[in-house]
Amino acid sequence: MDQDLRPLSAQEMIDSTRNLMASYPGIKYAVTVQQEEGGGNRQALLSVRGPDLDILTEIVYDVEDMFRRAPGAVDVTNSLQEGKPELQVSID
């Protein structure tokens, strides 16, 4: 979508995402925007981490829904694999 026709700029979408993330205490997240080669499209990426898989699942679907409703957003996906929680082991 032409940049002039978008209701929200990429930065405004990032700010909206950060505001949504702030409503979930105890999670860690990172929002990044990557410029595609050729300069046209920009890809927004969100990484979310935390101890509660149920909360993380809720967040993933909330953010995915927010992006799907944004005019001009295409190919909105998430990499959540429900039923396959990650196990991290720290060895001293």
62, 63, 64, 69 alpha-carbon torsion, rounded to 10°: 90
Q: What is the pLDDT of residue 33?
A: 75
What are the pLDDT digits (tens) for 20-66? 888 888 888 888 877 666 655 667 788 888 888 888 888 888 888 88
Q: What is the pLDDT of residue 63?
A: 83
| 24 Rama sector, left if φ>0, alpha if ψ -120 to 50, beta otherwise | beta
Q: What is the pLDDT of residue 1?
A: 46
Q: Are 41 and 28 contacting, i.e. CB atoms less than 8 angstroms apart?
A: no
69-81 average pLDDT score: 78
Q: What 3-state DSSP class applies to 70?
A: coil
d(CA 51, CA 53): 6
Query: Vertex 60, ends 22 and 36: CA angle to 5°?
Result: 95
Q: What is the pLDDT of residue 67?
A: 81
